[in-house]
C-alpha cells in the first residue's frame, strides 16, 4: 500500500483529507468512497478503542484512501499500538517543542533510526518485509496548538522525521485568549506557514468549507483537513430537513 499523502505532496500537489469523529467504520468507508486522499481517525476526542480504530483503518483502505490517526497522547506505546493497527500517519496533538517532535518522530520508526518496538500486529499482514518500507511511507504530522509551538515552529519543523506541519486553529485561539479569525490569531497562523516554508516542509490546516480551502491554498497551504464526518452529516441532515419543512 502506498501513502497517498506522500504521493500527492512529493509531486507538488495538494492533499485533501477529512476527520472522522463518529467512530464508525461504515461512516469511514462512506467518506473514503467519496474520494478523499486520506482520513484521520480522531482518537483524541472520539470515544473509540483500538479495535474500532483498526476496523476504521480497514474500511478506509478498502476504498483506496490512506488511514491516519490523531493520537490521544505522545507516549511511544500509544504511537506503536496504532502503527501496529495499520496507520500510515500520526498526528500528535499539542506539540510545542522540538524535543517533543523528535521523540514522536523516533517512536514512529524502527531502529537504527528510531525507537519503534517490533511486535506482532495487524500491520504484519502486509508481509515479512513490512519493516523494510514502512519507515519511508509513514508521515509524522505534529499539530501546533499554542503560542509556544508557534514560537518554536521552525525548530519543530527542522526535526528529522517530521514530515508535515499542521495547525490546530481552534485550540490556538483558546490558548492565545483571542477570537478565531482575529488579527492576532491570523498573524500566528501566517507565522507558522512561513516557518514551514523556510524549512521546506508542507504546511496544513483544517478548513470548514471548499471556499476556505481555496483561500488557504492561495496562501501556500497544501495539506487540508476538510471538515469531518459528523459535521457533514449534521449539515446535510439540517439542510434537507429545512427544505422539507419549507411551505
| CATH code, domain carrying 13 | 3.20.20.60
What is the domain extent for residue 166?
A: 4-245
Segment 164-220, tens digit of pLDDT: 999 999 999 999 999 999 999 999 999 999 999 999 999 999 999 999 999 999 999
Return the percentage of the chain with pLDDT > 90, whole number. 95
Q: Is 45 a catalytic residue?
A: yes
- pLDDT at position 119 is 83
- pLDDT band of residue 120 (cuts 50, 70, 90) is confident
Yes or no: say if 145 and 92 are a contact pair by the CB < 8 Å rule. no
Phi, psi values for residue 225, rounded to 5°? -95, 105
pTM equals 0.96
Average pLDDT, the chain: 97
Phi, psi values for residue 205, rounded to 5°? -160, 145
- pLDDT at position 247 is 56
Yes or no: say if 17 and 102 are a contact pair by the CB < 8 Å rule. no
Domain count, the chain: 1
Given 45, 74, 94, 191, which residue is catalytic? Answer: 45
Candidates 84, 46, 89; CA nearest to 69 is 89
Candidates 118, 106, 105, 20; CA nearest to 65 is 20
By the 10 Å C-beta count (0-12 exposed, 13-18 middle, 19+ buried), 11 is classed as exposed
Q: How many CB atoms lie within 10 A of CB 238?
A: 10
- pLDDT at position 241 is 96
Amino acid at each position: 500500500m502506498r501513502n497517498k499523502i506522500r504521493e500527492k505532496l512529493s509531486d507538488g500537489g495538494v492533499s485533501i483529507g477529512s476527520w472522522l469523529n463518529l467512530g464508525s467504520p461504515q461512516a469511514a468507508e462512506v467518506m473514503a468512497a467519496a474520494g478523499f486522499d486520506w482520513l484521520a481517525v480522531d482518537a483524541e476526542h472520539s470515544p473509540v478503542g483500538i479495535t474500532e480504530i483498526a476496523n476504521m483503518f480497514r474500511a478506509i483502505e478498502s476504498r483506496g484512501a490512506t488511514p491516519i490517526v490523531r493520537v490521544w497522547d505522545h507516549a511511544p506505546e500509544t504511537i506503536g499500538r496504532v502503527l501496529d493497527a495499520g496507520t500510515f500517519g500520526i498526528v500528535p496533538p499539542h506539540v510545542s517543542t522540538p524535543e517533543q517532535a523528535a521523540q514522536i518522530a523516533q517512536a514512529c520508526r524502527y531502529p537504527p533510526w528510531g525507537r519503534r518496538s517490533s511486535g506482532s500486529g495487524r500491520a504484519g499482514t502486509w508481509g515479512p518485509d513490512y519493516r523494510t518500507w514502512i519507515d519511508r511511507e509513514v508521515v509524522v504530522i505534529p499539530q501546533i496548538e499554542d503560542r509556544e509551538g508557534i514560537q518554536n515552529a521552525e525548530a519543530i519543523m527542522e526535526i528529522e522525521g517530521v514530515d508535515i506541519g499542521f495547525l490546530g486553529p481552534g485550540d490556538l485561539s483558546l490558548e492565545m485568549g483571542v477570537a478565531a479569525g482575529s488579527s492576532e490569531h491570523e498573524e500566528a497562523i501566517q507565522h507558522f506557514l512561513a516557518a514551514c516554508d523556510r524549512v521546506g516542509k508542507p504546511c496544513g490546516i483544517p478548513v470548514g468549507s471548499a471556499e476556505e480551502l481555496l483561500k488557504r491554498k492561495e496562501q501556500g497551504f497544501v495539506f487540508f483537513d476538510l471538515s469531518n464526518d459528523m459535521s457533514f452529516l449534521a449539515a446535510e441532515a439540517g439542510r434537507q430537513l429545512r427544505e422539507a419543512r419549507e411551505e
